[in-house]
Chain A
Amino acid sequence: MITREPFEYPENASRLECLVLAARESMADTGRAVLLGVRAIRMLPDLRRPKARAEFMRQMYICGIESLPVITVVALFTGMILAFQTGIELRRYNQEVYIGSAVMVSMLREMAPFITGLILGACVGSAMAAQLGTMTVNDEIAALEIMSIDPVRFLVTPRMAAMMIMTPILSFYTCMLGTLGGGVIGTTQLNVPWAQYMSNAMEFARAKELFVGLVKALIYGIIITTISCNEGLTATQGAVGVGQATRRAVIISFLLVLIVGYFVTRFFY
């Protein structure tokens, strides 16, 4: 699961052989990532140990509290933009009252987990990849292995648990703030009274939408942790390698958040 050597093509391989090898290597890498995620989740019960809990709490703080400011701003503005955009259209039919439901539903189902995923991918995932990558190239991971301390249990599991708890919470928080932001635009720009906006929003807030949103957020949390930790643990070749690992972690997380988001929505509707 942890590689310490960069992947190499044999010297006299033809283009075609290289292509085949590259495809095989990327599949192997995907397999390693999935395995890493599964192992980290299977070791979640280990967090009951008091010694493991300290690290878990630290990770909760890092991905929850430290990303709160940026999430707050993005959530408010997303709600405001959503309300404004839909409001302009709805005004043509004199239906501005419905912005409440428009904001609420798109926030619950799609936008809140999406924003949470992107922000946590960018802030927390990149930090995970950079930290684990630095530890890998500095032999710190090797040192753990020599001490027979499983790096997955010791490093990945607490991060996984923290993300699995924090993404749904932050997604819900994003949703509430987005709705609030929409309400502000509604009352100040679109002449929709606050009470009317809220009652309209609450009327369309179904448990199912909330559920789908939270499930999505949870899946995003698992994906981001798995990808970022895998990239970090497979970093090679010093500082350059850490940079590449971080870059790849963010890109792959973003793409997967987009693609998986679509398929989860498809699955439920």
Chain B
Amino acid sequence: MIRFEHIVKRLAGRNVLDDLSFEIRKGEVFVIVGPSGTGKSVTLKHMVQLLRPTSGTVWLGDESVSDADGRDLERLRERFGYLFQGGAMLGWLTVAENVALPLEEKTDLPEDEIAKRVHEALEMVDLEDAADQYPAEISGGMQKRAGLARAIVRRPEIVLYDEPTSGLDPVTARTIDRLIQHLNRDLGVTSVVVTHDMQGALSIGHRVAMLHGGRFVEVATPKAFAASACPEVQQFLEAQYITRGNFFVEGGTK
């Protein structure tokens, strides 16, 4: 569904993405892991043309994302929800107003329908109590959940999550993991998740990819990923006390 074709991205004097090619299938949860600063956020930004590749093309279905502009780009972007790494809430609007923004500005829904959907979205991320607070008044983790509510309130077809669980306590992190799974299973949302949290990655991902040196050094199912012989992957897993082929899955150890 989303296809990267030989993407090279040059930033700050080096190739952050270096001939990166892969495809994300419709209806899948694709997890991207990798050390800090390897270009995971940059990869996500290419999917909605927040950055343009130095060379190569990003495809969504059979449309080129990297060359779209005007109405076409708007139409492409409307299919996406994007949770930014920092939440990216507007400071002068309350949490509820922030979440309502995409509906207020881009749809003709009546006020009560908007209020209902905003409430629903906030409930999903367990944030109804903070609805009338301003982003500066809530914690970083809450801001991130508010960002998540905003990303899904339009019921997009594809959601890009940039570190949805970092900065959250383990219990809330698992709640968010379950939410991602729920959206994927019950509503068919194609999901791309960038994370450092290997437990989460291995339990929610259909496929897990490891970005290193501008390319994926491993793309595999969670099971195969955990058993990967690739040294970077092993290092990453060991650092989080996950031993080869043995990891925690929702409801038990596989």
Contacts and interface: CB of A to CB of B under 8 A. Distances in A.
A143 B51 CA distance: 13
Chain B's interface size range is 20 to 34
A193 to B, nearest CB: 51
Contacts of A149: 101-102, 105-106
Contacts of A154: 105
Interface in B1-51: 10-13, 45, 48, 50-51
B11 A142 contact: no
Interface string B67-89: 00000001001101110111011
A259 interface: no
Among B48, B82, B88, B92, the most chain A Cβ lie within 10 Å of the Cβ of B88
Interface in B145-167: 147, 150, 154
A11 B82 contact: no
A8 B104 CA distance: 39
A266 interface: no
Contacts of B80: 146
B97 to A, nearest CB: 10
Interface string A140-158: 1011011111000010000
A4 B82 contact: no
Given A4-B50, A4-B51, A149-B102, A142 B88 contact: yes
Nearest to A137: B86
B219 interface: no
A139 interface: yes
Contact of A51 (B12, B104, B150): B104
B242 interface: no
Contacts, number: 55
Given A148-B74, A149-B106, A139 B84 contact: yes
Interface residues on A, range: 10 to 19
B88 A138 contact: yes
Nearest to A146: B82
B86 A139 contact: yes
Nearest to B156: A146
Contacts of A145: 50, 77
A140 B88 contact: yes
The 10 closest A-B pairs by CB, nearest first: A143-B88, A147-B102, A139-B88, A139-B84, A148-B74, A146-B82, A140-B88, A142-B50, A149-B105, A146-B77
9 contacts: A8-B10, A135-B90, A139-B86, A142-B45, A142-B88, A147-B77, A149-B102, A149-B106, A154-B105
Interface of B: 10-13, 45, 48, 50-51, 74, 77-78, 80-82, 84-86, 88-90, 92, 101-102, 104-106, 147, 150, 154
Given A143-B84, A147-B154, 8 more contacts: A5-B51, A138-B86, A139-B88, A142-B82, A142-B88, A146-B77, A148-B77, A149-B105
